[in-house]
Structure formats: C-alpha cells, structure tokens
C-alpha cells in the first residue's frame, strides 16, 4: 500500500529545499510573523502622522491581542494563497512532465506517491508557520507583553491546520487534472466559498475557518470557543481530500 513512501518522501523534501520552496515560503512567513506585531503596535502612530492636523484620529491603545489578530489575518490571507500555490502543481506538473510515469513504473505505490507529496507540503507549511509564530511571539514580547509560549504554539498548530485544508483541497484538484491552474482555481474557489460559509451561525464551527476563534483564545490564554469540533472537522476534511485524491489517482492513466 505504501511501498516506497520513505524514499520518495526524502526526494520530496529535497525538492522543497532545492527548488527554494521551503526557504522562500519560510522567509515570507517570517516577514509576516515579524511585521504583524509591528503593524499592530504602530498603526495608530502611522495614521496619526498621516492625518496630521487635518483631523484627529482616536484609536484604542494597541495590545497583544491586536498583534495576535494581525498575525491571524495576515497568515490567513498570505498563507492561504501560498498554500494554494504550493499544492497547485504538486501532482499535475508531474503528470504533465512525465516524471510521474517514470517513478510509477518503479515499485512505488500511488498511495505513497501522493502521501509523500502531501506530507512534504505539510512540512513546508508547518516549518513556515512555526517560524512566523516564533517571530510574532518575539516581537509581541518586545512591543507589548509576553504571551505564554504553549498557547501561542497551539494557536500556530490550528493556523497550520487551516492552511493544510486549503492545500489539500488544491491537491485534489492537482490530482484530478493535468492543469496547475485548474487546481489553483479549485483551491481559491474553496477558499472564498468556505470563507463565506464560515460566517453562517452553526456552520462555521465545522469548517477550517472555525479554527480562528479557538486559535486566538489559545494564543492569548483567554477563554474562547472549543477547538475540538473545528479541529476534528478540519482533520476529517484533509483526510477526505487525501482519500478522494487517491481514489481518483489509482485509476488514472499516466
């Protein structure tokens, strides 16, 4: 079932490094992580300086909560887009180039081929979210107040799960088609549709967007929505997309 997984995963990780996907994504996420507390802290000052004497800007004094909110917003948008970009060509490009045919005439199962790819995307996003979260935690400490590291880390894990949901939906598109653009289209449509559905009462809890509230509460160490339901729902969604990808891919001609 998983013949060749370890070997092909090593190749996928090497590819993430050699093609600079991992370093570039990590660098972008680090900038997002560092800039989020900075924006939260200095946005009132910037607005005040821009407004000058024309009118008076009254904004509440920024807090660590603003830094956490800014990080969640930035990672949700930039991170979501990057998750789609990472996954869009993962299988489609290999089918189109013919490299999938090369390796799938070796003792490498199709399940292992897909799993290795999804794990490598997950690792790249995981490392990048960890770097972003660490950077944000440090600047929040410098500019505001220290936040409990375990809570911030737990919030980061939920953020990573959200990004993995977008990546795995795009991954299915990449498996079903030979077109990276079609896969990206599916990911972006899902991103928008889930974002709209997420604001509906009782529905958002069961979607990846439902992880935002619990993640914020965990990072700030304050009471908040229960993370269990959206976490389980998102893991089930990722698993289901992986299963759909495998069921489709195992019957595809290459």
Partner 1 sequence: MTAAVSAPSATPAEAVVHEEVAIRARGLAKRFGPIVALDGLDLDVPAGSIFGLLGPNGAGKTTTIRILTGLARPSAGTATVAGVEVGLDRPELRRRLGYLDQDPRFYPWMRGRELLELVGRLVGLEGADLRERVSSMLERTGLADVAGRRIGGYSGGMRQRLGIAQALLDRPAVVFLDEPVSSLDPEGRRDVLELIEGLRGETTVVVSTHVLSDVERVCDRVAILDRGQLVAEAPLDRLLAEHLRPLYRLVPEPGQREAVAGFVERVRGSPWVTDIVTASDGDVRVTVRDPAVAGAALLAMVVDQDLRLAAFERVRPTLEDVFLELVGTPSADELDGRGYVRPREAHR
Residues that bind partner 1 (CB under 8 A): 3-4, 7-8, 11, 14-15, 18-19, 97-99, 101-110, 250-254
Helix, strand, coil shares of the chain as percentages rounded to 5? 80, 0, 20
Helix (H) or strand (E) holding 191: helix 180-197
Of 35 and 109, nearer to partner 1 (C-beta) is 109
Residues 6+ apart with CB under 8 A from 59: 43, 44, 47
Nearest approach in angstroms of CB 23 to partner 1 is 13
Distance (Å, rounded) from C-alpha 75 to C-alpha 81?
A: 9
Of 69 and 96, nearer to partner 1 (C-beta) is 96
- Tell me the two tokens of residue 135: 């950077």
Nearest approach in angstroms of CB 88 to partner 1 is 18
Of 49 and 101, nearer to partner 1 (C-beta) is 101
Nearest approach in angstroms of CB 168 to partner 1 is 21
- Tell me the two tokens of residue 218: 């965990």
Nearest approach in angstroms of CB 246 to partner 1 is 10
Distance (Å, rounded) from C-alpha 242 to C-alpha 205?
A: 21
């Amino acid at each position: 079932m998983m013949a060749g997984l370890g070997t092909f995963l090593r190749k996928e990780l090497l590819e993430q490094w050699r093609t600079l996907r991992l370093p570039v994504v990590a660098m972008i996420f680090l900038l997002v992580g560092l800039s989020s507390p900075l924006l939260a802290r200095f946005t009132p000052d910037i607005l005040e300086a821009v407004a000058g004497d024309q009118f008076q800007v009254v904004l509440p004094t920024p807090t660590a909560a603003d830094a956490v909110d800014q990080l969640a917003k930035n990672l949700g948008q930039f991170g979501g887009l990057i998750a789609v970009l990472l996954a869009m060509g993962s299988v489609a490009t290999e089918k189109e180039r013919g490299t999938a045919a090369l390796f799938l005439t070796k003792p490498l199962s199709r399940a292992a081929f897909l799993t290795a790819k999804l794990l490598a995307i997950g690792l790249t996003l995981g490392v990048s979210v960890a770097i972003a979260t660490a950077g944000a935690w440090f600047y929040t400490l410098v500019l505001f107040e220290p936040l409990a590291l375990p809570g911030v880390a737990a919030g980061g894990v939920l953020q990573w799960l959200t990004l993995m949901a977008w990546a795995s939906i795009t991954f299915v598109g990449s498996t079903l088609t030979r077109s990276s653009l079609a896969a990206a289209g599916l990911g972006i449509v899902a991103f928008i549709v889930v974002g709209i559905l997420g604001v509906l009462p009782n529905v958002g809890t069961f979607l990846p967007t439902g992880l935002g509230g619990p993640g914020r509460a965990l990072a700030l160490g304050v009471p908040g929505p229960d993370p269990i339901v959206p976490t389980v729902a998102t893991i089930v969604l990722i698993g289901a997309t992986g299963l759909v990808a495998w069921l489709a891919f195992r019957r595809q001609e290459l």
